């Protein structure tokens, strides 16, 4: 039984949905401040769009796994509540757009009927846990990482230690040393290993990230035993929650905490935190992701292949053998990650006779089908061709990854999706030989934040703008030389030059023609780029950046008819920080209630963390009442001692730091949980008395 079924039957899920509806009503009536409500809805997968009055809903699919029934349910939901389009993301989620806020509880309820959640798909939480899409069938894998990704997802969903962090945490599991889940740009990346004793474990990559300032992760452990995976991750999250930045969201990722304190100190804090963990070891149920049902090998009616050449291209680029003898995996290229609901239903009908009932969303916004027998390849190809989903060149230079850009995102500067379509057409028309090239990737983001992963591409573009003749011109920043090296190694693309967006096809022509002319057949793009050097490409592309020859159409972005304007809204990728005194006191009371409930359920570790959060919220409220702000929880603890305990304004038998930081000096036992809860109760009472007098 997987965790989704447990989630569906758990009354906490139903309470979560009821609570969302209640808080929407409180928000509408003015009882909840807009900033607080934004944080709350983001943690429930509800993200404000560029268009006012509607929401994007992010559906959380751990490691990209979705069944036929679930995909059909999502399509139905998209028709009933959204725009009739499914957008596949680089984090293996599915997003739907143009949803009314008031209908989100009902939407969530209907998704849960087929074991699908939106909980913690956005906000300052553990985001969707990703993995190599071919995990479980990869001939190179030491073992299937899917159960481990599932365990991490299930353990941290609704876990109190990671509900209101300073910012998000991203976790990935690669199936092999090829590192196709990009461990090197994750907060926590895990690569499977088997040691000399035959035991399972993981190489650990730590504190990587993309965004506007990419950081490559550090390899901190060559072999973390499998049963230490969950405890280690919990310790990391506890440290990040306590020490991470909370005021300046641009400095609020794990990579900046390492930059601030140093890697050795952060790891020391992680080790120190382990005593407080709910568990010291956590055996993983390797059967938690069961083998999907797949059709028994059978004779299929013969089909006529009208274009044998295209079929062979498709076989060469979209079909790979599984480690299970006699079976093949088939990749489906989804242009710009968008699939209309009618096509999604036709897709399920088309593939059902030929493949296993398990689809994986891929990091390059495609789909993976499993357990296809050799004699099913031709009829499957024909079925996909009939619904326009047999595009050759999956994960090749002709398969461009892109975020939604200005189509729906608040932060988008320029259009990325139409640009991706244009560049794909350039490759199919002018460079058909590159349809087979899988070692060069093109990735596009609508802004510098790298949702389209442009920072890890051999050829990357991100949305920008330039000024010419007193007007703003849509532009792209050209980035070159990024990509995966393997076994946790990666390269960040370098910014080379900025050019008007309408000239991006010229950029691509120049680079690919130069690569063909000046790179030996055996040389990869990384070696070619390193050999030529950044300045070589700057000089190569400099004529294209000349703004003295702009044409009128270059002031209009791809996919638009109106003159370009930069109109960036408030980003919601990581929520916001709430510094309102009254709101913080209400939060403290709410968290104290949760601590009591957890103690009654004998969930001692959860109770302790809720009590800890009660201390922090209550202390912060009093500090803010005096105009004192601190950007970290440890800062709140320190400042409270300085301004309230040492002055005698608050009567405590020990310094506040000693009282609160008992949390990482004690095992999560009944005695300590009860004691800590009682101390939180007394502290909260004093805070409320002071506020009442004020």
Q: 366: domain CATH number? A: 3.30.70.3340
| 169-173, 203-207, 276-280, 574-578: the lowest-pLDDT one | 574-578
Query: What are the pLDDT digits (tens) for 448-492?
Result: 888 889 999 999 999 888 888 888 888 999 999 999 999 999 999
User: Number of structural domains, the chain?
Assistant: 5
| pLDDT band (50, 70, 90) for residue 442 | very high
> Is the pLDDT score of 574 beyond 50?
no
Kindly state the tokens that stand for 684.
């909260």
Same domain, yes or no: 18 and 46:
yes
Kindly state the tokens that stand for 36.
């607080």
| pLDDT band (50, 70, 90) for residue 356 | very high
> Is the pLDDT score of 224 beyond 70?
yes
> Is the pLDDT score of 573 beyond 80?
no
> Is residue 391 a part of any domain in this protein?
no
> Is residue 302 a part of any domain in this protein?
no
| 274-288, 327-341, 447-461: the lowest-pLDDT one | 447-461
Report the 10 Å Cβ neighbour count for 651.
9
Same domain, yes or no: 130 and 232:
yes
Same domain, yes or no: 407 and 533:
yes
d(CA 111, CA 106): 9
Q: What is the pLDDT of residue 447?
A: 84
Q: What is the pLDDT of residue 53?
A: 86
Query: What are the pLDDT digits (tens) for 425-437?
Result: 999 999 999 999 9
| pLDDT band (50, 70, 90) for residue 386 | very high
> Is residue 544 a part of any domain in this protein?
yes
CA atoms within a 13 Å half-sphere pointing along the CA-CB vector of 223? 8
Query: What are the pLDDT digits (tens) for 228-251?
Result: 999 999 999 999 999 999 988 889
Same domain, yes or no: 508 and 605:
no
Q: What is the pLDDT of residue 572?
A: 55
> Is the pLDDT score of 364 beyond 60?
yes
| pLDDT band (50, 70, 90) for residue 693 | low
Kindly state the tokens that stand for 520.
């030996």
Supply the DSSP string of 508-540, one letter for each residue: HHHHHHHHHHHS-TT--HHHHHHHH-HHHHHHH
Same domain, yes or no: 155 and 256:
yes
Same domain, yes or no: 531 and 502:
yes
| pLDDT band (50, 70, 90) for residue 8 | very low
Average pLDDT over residues 490-499: 95
Q: What is the pLDDT of residue 410?
A: 66
> Is residue 62 a part of any domain in this protein?
yes
| pLDDT band (50, 70, 90) for residue 9 | low
Residue with the larger pLDDT of the pair 47 and 694 = 47
Prediction pTM value: 0.92
Last residue of a domain, one of 344, 361, 386: 386
Query: What are the pLDDT digits (tens) for 596-655?
Result: 999 999 999 999 999 999 999 999 989 988 888 899 999 999 999 999 999 888 989 999
> Is residue 132 a part of any domain in this protein?
yes
| 116-120, 394-398, 441-445, 568-572: the lowest-pLDDT one | 568-572
Kindly state the tokens that stand for 495.
């910014």
- The proportion of the chain whose per-residue pLDDT surpasses 70, expressed as a percent, equals 95
Which structural domain, as residue segments, surrounds residue 246? 124-290
Q: What is the pLDDT of residue 692?
A: 72
Average pLDDT over residues 576-589: 67
Mean pLDDT of the chain: 91
> Is the pLDDT score of 576 beyond 80?
no
> Is residue 439 a part of any domain in this protein?
yes
Task: CATH number of the domain at 149, please.
Answer: 3.30.413.10
Same domain, yes or no: 418 and 332:
no
> Is residue 572 a part of any domain in this protein?
no
Average pLDDT over residues 51-55: 88
> Is residue 565 a part of any domain in this protein?
no
Same domain, yes or no: 481 and 593:
no
| pLDDT band (50, 70, 90) for residue 1 | very low
Q: What is the pLDDT of residue 516?
A: 95
Same domain, yes or no: 532 and 627:
no
Task: CATH number of the domain at 683, please.
Answer: 1.20.120.330
Which residue is associated with the tokens 């310094």? 655
| pLDDT band (50, 70, 90) for residue 513 | very high
| pLDDT band (50, 70, 90) for residue 566 | low
Average pLDDT over residues 84-90: 96
Query: What are the pLDDT digits (tens) for 110-150?
Result: 999 999 999 999 989 999 999 999 999 999 999 999 999 99
Average pLDDT over residues 307-319: 96
Same domain, yes or no: 182 and 213:
yes
Same domain, yes or no: 68 and 163:
no
Return the CA Rg of the chain: 26
Same domain, yes or no: 470 and 498:
yes
Average pLDDT over residues 655-672: 96
Q: Which of 381, 294, 372 is nearest to 332 (CA)?
A: 381
Supply the DSSP string of 638-694, one letter for each residue: HHHIIIIITTTSS--SS-HHHHHGGGGSS---HHHHHHHHHHHHHHHHHHHHHHHH-
Kindly state the tokens that stand for 670.
């009944």
Last residue of a domain, one of 355, 386, 417: 386
187-213 burial code (b ≥16 CB/10 A, e <16): bbbbbbbeeeeeebbbbbbbbbbbbeb
Three-state secondary structure call for residue 454: helix
């Amino acid at each position: 039984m997987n965790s989704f079924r447990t989630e569906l039957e758990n009354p906490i899920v139903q309470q979560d949905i009821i609570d969302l509806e209640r808080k929407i009503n409180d928000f509408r009536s003015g009882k909840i401040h807009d900033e607080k409500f934004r944080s709350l809805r983001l943690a429930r997968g509800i993200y404000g769009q560029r268009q006012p009055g509607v929401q994007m809903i992010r559906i959380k699919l751990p490691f990209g796994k979705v069944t036929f029934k679930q995909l059909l349910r999502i399509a139905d939901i998209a028709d009933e509540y959204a725009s009739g389009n499914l957008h596949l993301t680089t984090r293996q989620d599915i997003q739907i757009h143009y949803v009314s806020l008031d209908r989100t509880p009902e939407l969530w309820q209907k998704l849960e009927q087929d074991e699908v959640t939106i909980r913690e798909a956005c906000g300052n939480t553990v985001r969707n846990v990703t993995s190599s899409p071919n995990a479980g069938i990869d001939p190179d894998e030491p073992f299937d990482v899917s159960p481990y990704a599932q365990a991490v997802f299930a353990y941290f969903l609704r876990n109190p230690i990671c509900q209101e962090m300073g910012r998000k945490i991203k976790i990935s599991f690669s199936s092999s040393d090829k590192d196709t889940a990009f461990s090197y740009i994750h907060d926590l990346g895990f690569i499977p290993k088997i040691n000399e004793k035959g035991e399972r474990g993981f190489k650990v990559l730590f504190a990587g990230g993309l965004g506007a300032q990419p950081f490559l992760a550090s390899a901190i452990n060559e072999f973390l035993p499998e049963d230490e995976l969950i405890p280690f991750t919990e310790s990391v999250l506890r440290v990040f929650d306590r020490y991470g930045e909370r005021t300046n969201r641009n400095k609020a990722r794990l990579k900046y905490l390492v930059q601030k304190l140093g890697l050795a100190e952060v790891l020391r804090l992680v080790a120190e935190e382990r005593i407080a963990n709910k568990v010291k070891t956590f055996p993983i149920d390797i059967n938690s992701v069961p083998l999907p049902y797949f059709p028994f090998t059978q004779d299929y009616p013969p089909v006529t292949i009208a274009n044998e050449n295209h079929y062979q291209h498709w076989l060469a680029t979209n079909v790979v053998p599984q480690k299970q003898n006699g079976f093949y995996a088939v990749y489906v290229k989804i242009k710009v990650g968008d699939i209309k609901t009618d096509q999604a239903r036709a897709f399920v009908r088309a593939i059902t006779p030929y493949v296993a009932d398990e689809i994986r969303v891929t990091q390059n916004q495609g789909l993976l089908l499993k357990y296809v027998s050799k004699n099913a390849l031709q009829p499957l190809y024909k079925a996909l061709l009939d619904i326009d989903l047999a595009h050759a060149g999956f994960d090749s230079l002709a398969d461009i990854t892109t975020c939604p850009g200005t189509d729906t995102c608040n932060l988008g500067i320029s259009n990325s999706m139409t640009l991706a379509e244009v560049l794909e057409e350039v490759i199919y028309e002018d460079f058909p030989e590159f349809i087979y090239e899988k070692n060069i990737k093109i990735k596009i983001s609508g802004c510098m934040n790298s949702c389209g992963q442009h920072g890890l591409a051999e050829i990357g573009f991100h949305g920008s703008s330039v000024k010419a003749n007193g007007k703003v011109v849509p532009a792209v920043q050209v980035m070159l030389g990024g990509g995966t090296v393997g076994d946790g190694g990666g390269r960040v693309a370098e910014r080379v030059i900025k050019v008007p967006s309408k000239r991006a096809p010229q950029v691509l022509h120049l680079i690919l023609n130069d690569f063909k002319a000046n790179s030996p057949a055996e040389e990869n793009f990384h070696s070619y780029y390193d050999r030529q050097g950044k300045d070589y490409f700057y000089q190569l592309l400099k004529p294209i950046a000349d703004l003295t020859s702009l044409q009128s159409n270059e002031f209009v972005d791809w996919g638009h008819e109106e003159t370009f304007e930069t109109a960036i809204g408030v980003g919601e990728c990581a929520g916001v920080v709430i510094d309102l005194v009254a709101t913080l006191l209400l939060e403290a009371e709410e968290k104290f209630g949760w601590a009591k409930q957890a103690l009654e359920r004998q969930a001692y570790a959860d109770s302790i963390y809720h009590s800890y959060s009660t201390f922090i919220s209550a202390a912060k409220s009093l500090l803010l009442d005096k105009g004192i702000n601190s950007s970290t929880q440890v800062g709140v603890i320190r400042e409270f001692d300085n301004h309230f305990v040492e002055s005698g304004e608050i009567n405590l038998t020990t310094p506040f730091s000693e009282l609160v930081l008992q949390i990482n000096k004690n095992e999560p036992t009944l005695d300590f949980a009860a004691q800590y809860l009682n101390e939180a109760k007394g502290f909260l009472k004093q805070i409320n008395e002071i506020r009442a007098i004020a």
